[in-house]
């Protein structure tokens, strides 16, 4: 691995520091690690022209060659270094390793050059492999490729592949989260749709006007829940959907279900994960009231706490075994609790680990779920 081109000023500084910060070999190691640490976050974004553009320079420093190119399987993503006219050759060079998956060395027979001053006579092309599939190539141009350079390029390409696999892992984790939200939408349907329709049916003859109102509420509720929505929504939207849900549940439970909503107007624009409160309210109604004798009350409070919004969903129902709740929050799917773990995970992903669900409950004393949401979090927009 050659040394990167240096400035004389930096040389002087390095001479001054020598002896304080280790030997030349250690310096080389530090430089390598530093370049690697600069490249890793870029590559964690996946292999795009943007991430390639940003990491190519560091990769060239790492390898100490005049020019470096990154390609995907069909086109050039980034070129860094001199003699930019060879950039057009990189796509064709990439083709040569896509089949074999091995690192190869190519020379002027494979990429013609009309510029007499150009000294890039050889190129080491190494494949980038993610999950046994070649997704692109790393190409190092040089005047003459030593065996050491070939080895180095292959190793760096291997390391880049590792980071790209991590990026793939990130992406699949996001996809999993999205799939869970979709599942949550689907999860609402069977119980609730059946119960609502039955309740509405009971009004059709006795109170047709009420039945019509309820059907419209039902239509609006399902439209919101099944809408192709972004990851976040406003608290106002979420509460509106909850109100519709409660109207429908009230039609079913009648006076047995009492609802109190106390909402500070100031927090209505707060951004929250889509469908993060609805499951909590559904839990309160289902677990708190369905098995309870007499009247049950669900209280939903959204309060303004300076930079945060404090939302509590409380019922005075039969309560729950804390251990069971703990298992639900940990993601145990066998616990019959609509999406508690899912909501918790999504809140933590959006706002950080400080903002998980807090559940206070015990058998016979009701359940209180507390959600804290910051008014602003980077990257969270309705």
List contacts with other proteins (CB under 8 A): 45, 50, 230-232, 234-237, 239-240, 243, 246-247, 259-266, 268-269, 271, 301, 303-307, 354, 375-376, 378-382
- By beta-carbon proximity to other proteins, the closer residue of 217 and 316 is 217
Residue in this structure with the two tokens 């990439």, named with its chain if needed: 94
CB of 274 to other proteins, least distance (A): 12
DSSP H helices in the chain = 8-17, 24-43, 49-63, 90-100, 147-206, 208-226, 235-253, 278-289, 322-329, 340-351
- By beta-carbon proximity to other proteins, the closer residue of 103 and 233 is 233
- By beta-carbon proximity to other proteins, the closer residue of 65 and 270 is 270
Q: Are 108 and 142 in contact (CB under 8 A)?
A: no
Full DSSP string of 265-310: GGGTT-EEETTSSHHHHHHHHHHHHTT-SS-EEEEEEEEEETTEEE
- By beta-carbon proximity to other proteins, the closer residue of 118 and 301 is 301
- By beta-carbon proximity to other proteins, the closer residue of 257 and 340 is 257
How deeply is 237 buried, as exposed, middle or buried, from its count of CB atoms within 10 A (0-12, 13-18, 19+)? middle
CB of 82 to other proteins, least distance (A): 19
CB of 260 to other proteins, least distance (A): 7
Q: Are 262 and 301 in contact (CB under 8 A)?
A: yes
CB of 373 to other proteins, least distance (A): 11
Q: Are 371 and 311 in contact (CB under 8 A)?
A: yes
Residue 110: half-sphere exposure toward Cβ, Cα within 13 Å: 20
- By beta-carbon proximity to other proteins, the closer residue of 17 and 305 is 305
- By beta-carbon proximity to other proteins, the closer residue of 30 and 376 is 376
CA distances from 353 to 328, 349, 373 (A): 17, 7, 12
CB of 303 to other proteins, least distance (A): 7
CB of 170 to other proteins, least distance (A): 9
CB of 261 to other proteins, least distance (A): 5
Q: Reduce the DSSP state of residue 123 to 3 states and report it.
A: strand
Q: Are 287 and 320 in contact (CB under 8 A)?
A: yes
Token pair of 314 as six digits: 């409380």
């Amino acid at each position: 691995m050659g040394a990167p081109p240096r400035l004389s000023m930096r040389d002087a500084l390095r001479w001054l520091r020598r002896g304080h910060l280790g030997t030349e070999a250690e310096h080389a190691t530090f430089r390598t690690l530093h370049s690697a640490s600069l490249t890793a976050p870029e590559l964690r974004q996946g292999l795009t022209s943007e991430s390639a553009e940003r990491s190519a320079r560091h990769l060239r420093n790492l390898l100490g060659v005049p020019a470096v190119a990154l390609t995907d399987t069909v086109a050039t993503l980034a070129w860094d270094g001199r003699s930019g006219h060879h950039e057009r050759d990189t796509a064709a060079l990439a083709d040569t390793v896509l089949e074999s998956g091995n690192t190869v060395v190519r020379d002027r027979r494979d990429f013609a050059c009309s510029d007499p001053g150009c000294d890039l006579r050889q190129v080491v092309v190494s494949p980038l492999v993610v999950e046994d599939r070649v997704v692109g190539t790393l190409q190092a141009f040089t005047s003459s490729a030593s065996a050491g350079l070939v080895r180095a390029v292959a190793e760096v390409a291997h390391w880049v592949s590792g980071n790209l696999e991590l990026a793939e892992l990130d992406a699949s984790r996001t996809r999993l989260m999205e799939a869970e939200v979709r599942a949550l939408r689907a999860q609402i349907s069977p119980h609730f749709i059946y119960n609502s329709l039955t309740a509405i049916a009971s009004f059709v003859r006795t109170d047709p006007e009420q039945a019509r109102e309820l059907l419209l509420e039902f239509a609006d509720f399902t439209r919101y829940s099944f809408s192709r929505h972004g990851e976040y929504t406003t608290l106002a939207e979420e509460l509106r959907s909850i109100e519709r849900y409660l109207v429908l549940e009230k039609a079913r439970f009648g006076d047995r279900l009492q609802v109190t909503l106390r909402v500070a107007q100031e927090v209505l624009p707060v951004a929250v994960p889509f469908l993060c409160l609805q499951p909590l309210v559904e839990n309160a109604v289902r677990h708190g009231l369905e098995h309870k004798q007499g009247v049950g009350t669900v209280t939903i409070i959204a309060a303004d706490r300076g930079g945060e919004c404090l939302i509590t969903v409380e019922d005075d129902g039969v309560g729950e075994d804390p251990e069971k709740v703990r298992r639900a929050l940990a993601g145990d799917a066998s616990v019959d609790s609509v999406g508690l773990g899912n909501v918790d995970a999504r809140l933590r992903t959006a706002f950080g680990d400080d903002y998980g669900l807090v559940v206070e409950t015990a058998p016979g004393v009701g359940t209180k779920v507390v959600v804290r949401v910051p008014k602003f979090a980077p990257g969270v927009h309705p």
